[in-house]
Amino acid sequence: MHHAAKWPAIFERMVVRMRGRGNLGELMHEMMAGVEAPTTAEAEILLAYLRKYSQRPLDPNKYPAVNLPEGQSFKLACRQCHVLPDPQRHKASEWPAVVARMEKNMQWMNRVVSNQPDSREIQLKVEEINAFLVKYARKG
């Protein structure tokens, strides 16, 4: 998920591709399998929705521990792909599944992940990421 300021450029690139005019040209149009790209009016509505429900970044003033050793793995892992998420986005019981899903995404995207130790690379500790998020998670 992207933060609000990033969505316009990303969404525009997506729409151009869906219309078969992007860097993938006709291939993307064929991959749409008959699904029509949004009209200009539909695209405006979709973009407004994406911006409204975008990733809300963590406020480091609210969570100063993000800059301490306990927040290091969280910070290093998450900011590879997106803004740091506010831990209040999920309940403590939900974060481990989210972190597991993100770890799979990182493997797919060829990012630094925690399960292939290599002394030349930064090692991310999933248990530290979960501990940070669970500590500051939404109650309930």
pLDDT in tens, 81-118: 899 999 999 999 999 999 999 988 887 776 555 555 66
pLDDT tens track for 115-126: 556 666 666 788
Q: What is the full DSSP assignment across 57-121?
A: BP-TTT-GGGGSGGGHHHHHHHTTTSPPBPGGGSBTTTHHHHHHHHHHHHHHTT---SSS--TTS
